[in-house]
Amino acid sequence: MKNDNVNPWVGAANGVIEGNARFDSFQLTYNPESTGNIGSYIFDEFGYSSITTVSNEAEQLPFETRLEQNFPNPFNPSTSINFSINKAQTVRLSVFDILGREVATLVNKTLTSGNHSVQFDASSLSSGMYIYRLQAGTQTITKKMMLIK
């Protein structure tokens, strides 16, 4: 749709409306006595919506449960452990020494879906290899990390 620049439309670039137009009714008139085939048009309840990008929140949610490698690794004395869960569920994040003894429980509760981060302070532990395990629902994921003092 274009206007004749007599009464420019608000929000229209160069007199052109791009987007989705809506109106209840319209009326076209023509004046045969005028020169140049001049007429008019009237829209009742005219409105338009421009084309915009809409964020889809579902795209931002993780599709699967993931456990990321801790950072930094090796670390001294603390490190960050990031993980994602795709639905609200009970989550347990634990740390074990190389002999399989649990040395810390970092998370043990129901969390909402999304990305989560936990800080692990190992200042009371000795240098060595540790295993961290994420249990979310029926899934279990493990990774290794190295503490160097």
For residue 113, list its beta bridge partners: none
- What are the pLDDT digits (tens) for 123-146? 999 999 999 999 999 999 999 999
* Residues 121 and 77: beta-carbon distance below 8 Å: yes
Say whether pLDDT at 56 is over 80.
Answer: no
The confidence score (pLDDT) of residue 62 equals: 73
93 CB-side CA count, 13 A: 23
User: Could you tell me the CA-to-CA distances from 89 to 23, 110, 115 in Å, in that order?
Assistant: 48, 5, 13
User: Which tokens belong to 9?
Assistant: 């439309």
- The answer to whether 21 and 41 have CB atoms below 8 angstroms apart is no
Complete domains list, the chain, with CATH: 1-52 (no CATH), 58-147 (2.60.40.1930)
Q: What is the pLDDT of residues 11-45, one digit of tens each?
A: 445 555 555 555 555 566 666 676 665 666 555 55
| Mean pLDDT score, 75-80 | 95
pLDDT exceeds cutoff 90 at 51: no
